[in-house]
């Protein structure tokens, strides 16, 4: 418990530094939130800068932003005039959880069996097959995969809608595209760790006792071999949850990923800060959660850390 | 302990919970689109639903469905028609205008809408606190130039504005509801147009439904419109081709030729009659793509050099290279503007270009310095820049360095005149040459070339004070001639409206301004041919 609280405190410090770093970085980039190819009349631009305190010295603006965060207020969005950053993020979070959760499901559903299969047939054709497919899936850019799937499932077979939010069917392609590279990584990690476990004396002894290989894999190998996968899942889940800009754009999904990138492009300082804070918090909490999970899986981890 | 142990199952519980929660959220993220609803893939997300604060084409499409102006533009004839005002006239050639509002107009919440609402809205537009981008549209009202009497609004300007009723069709001049004026309610909650706001999810969709309090409610055919935010043009095209969207405002340049082919195919397969409106049919659009010269620094402080570079560009070849259906531009103002007879403009003339460069003092002994050409990161802009680079090298032997910048950095550099040559474009707001020419007045914040020309300003000032159309157009033509002679800019091509509109959409007319009369549209039920 004490360790958990200590980690939580460390995360708070991390958030503080990330906030400060992001604030000064986004403000130092050239161009402002109200620059447009249709230049605002000078008085109008002045009024706007004043409205959002952007005419104040930078340190004063920073103090303003920090006090806002302490009061749970991320401020107004500069691009979506009349909308709070918190509201913008709150609308995007359910989308990202669904997309990320679905992708995680795909990653585990495909990655774990593939990894185990490859490990149990080391250096035989199933192993080579899994490794080649996994390498291909990791190398294949998201948008290529997405384009191919849309061509097949939306145009050739008219089975799935090509983009947009809607029913369950709308989520299949985006979750699959986002999850597939992670599934490949899970398979490779699991294969490597399962091979290591297969060489341990306990497993050799079990094999010597005549245990059939399926039971062996299920009861003895998987549990130990999953440890590196769980460690990988922490940051991977955070990455999946904050979504992928490419997948969101290809499938027109209003998740966090695009906000994360476009807020900076639009010089929407407040939204960029809010999105970065949220991302950092999610990443921190997930790695905390992973450590907790690892400790449950292997009590030695707790004493080690 | 094994795989089935309680401890292990406990460890996996949070993970499984997350997965369950994620799929539990699916219904929360889902909104069904009622049948008969028009679906528009509306490009970028709308910045604001406040008609006085929004600029940009996606905003214009949504706001023109939500808010009615005093007038509207007929999409077929481009004539100015009465909308909230049943009658408008000017007794003195455009110095003053009188708008008589329809009786019994209502806001979408059922409260009364009168001339006083318009007056107070325009006062809000002018207030510095509103920070409205189109504040300047009313800057030359006379002192006390807005008066309301018996539901009649009288407007008086310091100089004649013959095109003012046309401006009143634009959302910036549409009346805004009292709650928005006093800041007590959010934008879009109460509207005056044929539709009202059903729901909005940022970066996903804006769902509109028919407004039962609209003055011409009987003539509204659509039960609702959904504007989807679809930033990728390819995704929008996919949605259209699979029948998930009925209208997309632009198509990827790469798809243009295959869309032409598709049109022919539709007629060949008898899915569409040869006389019915094509789904894809690029038409002139009131917008010009051009390059700005920084006239404050050598070598472009010399008009001869600027003109030389412009005359060395073969625009027909450029348009053909781009292959995206955009007509070449020799002038700033598109010739498709009604009642406009513009000057001849910059023709391809390599001989004169070389002579001008020699006159400016550049020859084999004094070679022209290498210049930098700025553009913002986009495929089209890169293609144009590369074509210019090649043509100048071939015709004038000039070397250029292409320099692409992220959008906001690019804008900042242009604003601070931190460039030599910079890509640009301008979309006309209303059907008058001044919508383009005013951009290059010496005091315009949109000038961004450093070019200040007294004669040009004077000609525009003369036109501004002239009530008769013929001499007014004469001054404006002279002003454009002066602009092209001095060449602070180099026009390259005019944009074409490349929207894709499903043949199920009835009542749609393509036009120069991209104006859509949403109330006049209706959606035919999907036919078997469509599904094929």
Q: What is the pLDDT of residues B73-103, one digit of tens each?
A: 999 999 999 999 999 999 998 999 999 999 9
Q: What is the mean pLDDT of chain B?
A: 90
My answer on whether A135 and A45 are in the same domain is no
Between A36-40, A51-55, A188-192, the lowest mean confidence (pLDDT) is in: A36-40
pLDDT score recorded for residue A231 = 83
Per-residue pLDDT, averaged over B317-337, amounts to: 89
> Which of A50, A77, A57 lies closest to B128 in space, CA to CA?
A50
Top-confidence residue, B400 or A38:
B400
Query: pTM for the complete prediction?
Result: 0.90
Per-residue pLDDT, averaged over B219-243, amounts to: 94
Any domain includes A132: yes
pLDDT score recorded for residue B6 = 43
Q: Is residue A244 predicted with pLDDT exceeding 80?
A: no
Any domain includes A79: no
Q: Is residue B488 predicted with pLDDT exceeding 90?
A: yes
My answer on whether A129 and A39 are in the same domain is no
My answer on whether A262 and A128 are in the same domain is yes
Number of A/B CB contacts below 8 angstroms equals 190
Strand partners, B490: B291
Q: Is residue B504 predicted with pLDDT exceeding 80?
A: yes
Per-residue pLDDT, averaged over A283-292, amounts to: 84
Which CATH number covers residue A137?
1.10.3720.10
Q: Is residue B64 predicted with pLDDT exceeding 70?
A: yes
Final residue of a structural domain among A70, A97, A123: A70
Any domain includes A76: no
Judging contacts by C-beta atoms under 8 Å, the chain B residues touching residue A81 are 47-48, 50, 53
Percent of chain B residues topping a pLDDT of 90 = 73
pLDDT score recorded for residue B13 = 53
My answer on whether A66 and A108 are in the same domain is no
User: Which tokens hold the place of B260?
Assistant: 């032409």
Handedness of CA B132, B134, B140, B141 (dihedral sign): negative
Number of domains in chain A: 2
My answer on whether A155 and A41 are in the same domain is no
Final residue of a structural domain among A70, A104, A122: A70
Are A194 and A112 within 8 A, CB to CB? no
Question: Closest to B242 (Cβ–Cβ): which among A48, A155, A222?
Answer: A155
Are A175 and A99 within 8 A, CB to CB? yes
Any domain includes A75: no
My answer on whether A43 and A95 are in the same domain is no
pLDDT score recorded for residue A66 = 93
Any domain includes A218: yes
User: Which tokens hold the place of B120?
Assistant: 């107070």
Does the distance separating the beta carbons of A81 and B48 come in below 8 Å? yes
Any domain includes A80: no
Q: Is residue B531 predicted with pLDDT exceeding 50?
A: no
pLDDT score recorded for residue B530 = 46
Q: Predicted confidence band at B17 (pLDDT cuts at 50, 70, 90)?
A: low
Any domain includes A77: no
Does the distance separating the beta carbons of B415 and A35 come in below 8 Å? yes
pLDDT score recorded for residue B195 = 97
Domain that holds residue A261: 85-304
Percent of chain B residues topping a pLDDT of 70 = 93
Judging contacts by C-beta atoms under 8 Å, the chain A residues touching residue B205 are 165
pLDDT digits (tens, 9 = 90+) for B345-381: 999 999 999 999 999 999 889 999 999 999 998 888 9
**What does each C-alpha distance from B210 to B180, B191, B394 come to in angstroms?**
21, 11, 58
**Which phi and psi angles does A268 have, rounded to 5°?**
-85, 80
Q: Is residue B22 predicted with pLDDT exceeding 70?
A: no
Are B46 and B118 within 8 A, CB to CB? no
My answer on whether A97 and A7 are in the same domain is no
B21 touches chain A (CB under 8 A): yes
Q: Is residue B3 predicted with pLDDT exceeding 50?
A: no
Calpha distance A101→A114 (Å, rounded): 20
Final residue of a structural domain among A25, A40, A70: A70
My answer on whether A112 and A252 are in the same domain is yes
My answer on whether A180 and A61 are in the same domain is no
My answer on whether A64 and A111 are in the same domain is no
The residue count of chain B comes to 532
My answer on whether A54 and A97 are in the same domain is no
| Interacting residues of A83 by C-beta distance below 8 A, sequence separation 6+ | A76, A77, B202
Mutation choice for B interface testing from A34, A83, A164 by most B CBs within 10 A? A164
Q: Predicted confidence band at B2 (pLDDT cuts at 50, 70, 90)?
A: very low
Any domain includes A55: yes
My answer on whether A285 and A179 are in the same domain is yes
Are B448 and B414 within 8 A, CB to CB? yes
Per-residue pLDDT, averaged over B112-121, amounts to: 96
């Amino acid at each position: 418990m004490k360790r958990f609280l200590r980690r939580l405190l460390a995360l708070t410090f991390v958030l503080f530094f990330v906030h400060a770093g992001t604030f000064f970085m986004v403000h130092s980039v050239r161009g402002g939130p109200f620059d447009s190819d249709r230049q605002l009349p000078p008085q109008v631009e002045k009024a706007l800068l004043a409205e959002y305190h952007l005419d104040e010295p930078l340190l004063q603006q920073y103090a303003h932003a920090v006090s806002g965060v302490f009061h749970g207020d991320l401020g107004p969005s500069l691009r979506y005039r009349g909308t709070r950053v918190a509201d913008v993020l709150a609308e995007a979070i359910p989308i990202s959880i669904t997309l990320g959760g679905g992708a995680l499901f795909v990653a585990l559903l495909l990655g774990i069996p593939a990894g185990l299969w490859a490990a149990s047939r080391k250096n035989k054709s199933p192993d080579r097959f899994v490794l080649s497919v996994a390498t291909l899936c990791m190398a294949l850019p998201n948008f290529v995969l997405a384009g191919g799937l849309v061509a097949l499932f939306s145009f050739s077979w008219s089975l799935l809608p090509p983009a947009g939010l809607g029913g369950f069917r709308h989520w299949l392609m985006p979750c699959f595209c986002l999850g597939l590279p992670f599934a490949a990584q899970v398979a490779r990690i699991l294969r490597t760790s399962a091979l290591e476990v297969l060489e341990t004396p306990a497993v050799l002894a079990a094999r010597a006792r005549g245990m059939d290989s399926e039971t062996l894999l299920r009861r003895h190998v998987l549990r130990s071999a999953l440890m590196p996968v769980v460690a990988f899942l922490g940051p991977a889940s955070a990455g999946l949850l904050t979504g992928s800009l490419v997948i969101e754009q290809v499938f027109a999904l209003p998740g966090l990923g695009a906000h994360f990138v476009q807020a900076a492009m639009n010089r929407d300082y407040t939204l960029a800060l809010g999105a970065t804070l949220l991302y950092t918090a999610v990443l921190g909490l997930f790695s905390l959660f992973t450590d907790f999970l690892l400790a449950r899986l292997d009590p030695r981890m707790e004493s080690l850390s | 302990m094994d795989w089935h142990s309680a401890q292990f199952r406990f460890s996996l519980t949070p993970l499984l919970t997350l997965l369950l929660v994620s799929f539990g959220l699916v219904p929360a993220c889902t909104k069904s689109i009622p049948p008969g609803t028009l679906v528009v893939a509306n490009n970028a997300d709308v910045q604001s639903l406040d008609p006085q604060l929004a600029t940009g084409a996606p905003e214009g499409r949504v706001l023109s469905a939500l808010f009615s102006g005093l007038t509207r533009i007929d999409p077929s004839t481009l004539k100015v028609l009465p909308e909230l005002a049943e009658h408008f006239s000017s007794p003195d050639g455009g110095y003053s205008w009188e708008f008589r509002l329809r009786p019994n107009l209502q806001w979408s919440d059922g409260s009364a809408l009168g001339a006083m609402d318009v007056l107070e809205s325009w006062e809000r537009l002018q207030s510095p606190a509103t920070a409205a981008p189109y504040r300047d549209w009313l800057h030359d009202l006379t002192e006390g130039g807005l008066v309301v009497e018996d539901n009649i609004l009288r407007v008086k300007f310091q100089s004649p504005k013959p095109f003012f009723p046309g401006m009143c069709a634009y959302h910036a001049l549409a009346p805004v509801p009292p709650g928005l004026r006093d800041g007590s309610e959010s934008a879009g909650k109460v509207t005056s147009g044929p539709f009202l706001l059903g729901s909005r999810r940022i970066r996903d969709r804006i769902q509109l439904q028919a407004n039962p309090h609209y003055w011409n409610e009987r003539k509204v055919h659509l039960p609702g419109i959904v504007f989807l935010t679809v930033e990728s043009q390819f995704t929008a095209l996919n949605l259209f081709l699979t029948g998930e969207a009925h209208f997309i405002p632009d198509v990827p340049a790469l798809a243009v030729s295959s869309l032409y082919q598709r049109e022919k195919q539709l007629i060949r397969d008898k899915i569409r009659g040869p006389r019915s409106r094509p789904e894809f049919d690029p038409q002139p659009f009131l917008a010009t793509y051009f390059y700005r010269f920084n006239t404050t620094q050598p070598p472009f402080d010399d008009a001869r050099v600027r003109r030389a570079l412009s005359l060395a560009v073969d625009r027909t070849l450029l348009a053909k290279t781009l292959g995206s259906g955009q007509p070449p531009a020799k002038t700033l103002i598109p010739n498709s503007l009604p009642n406009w007879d513009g000057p001849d403009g910059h023709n391809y003339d390599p001989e004169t270009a070389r002579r001008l460069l020699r006159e400016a003092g550049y020859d084999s002994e004094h070679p022209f310095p290498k210049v930098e050409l700025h553009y913002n990161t986009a495929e089209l802009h890169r293609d144009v820049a590369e074509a210019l680079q090649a043509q100048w090298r071939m015709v004038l032997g000039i070397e250029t360095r292409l320099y692409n910048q992220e959008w906001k950095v690019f804008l900042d550099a242009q604003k601070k005149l931190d460039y030599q040559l910079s890509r640009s474009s301008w979309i006309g707001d209303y059907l008058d040459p001044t919508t383009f020419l005013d951009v290059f007045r010496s005091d315009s914040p949109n000038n961004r070339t450093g070019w200040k020309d007294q004669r040009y300003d004077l000609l525009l000032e003369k036109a501004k004070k002239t009530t008769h159309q013929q001499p007014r157009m004469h001054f404006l033509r002279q002003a454009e001639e002066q602009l092209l002679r001095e060449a602070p800019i180099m026009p390259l091509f005019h944009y074409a409206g490349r929207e894709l509109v499903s043949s199920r959409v009835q009542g749609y007319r393509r036009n120069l301004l991209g104006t859509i009369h949403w109330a006049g549209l209706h959606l035919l039920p999907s036919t078997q041919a469509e599904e094929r």
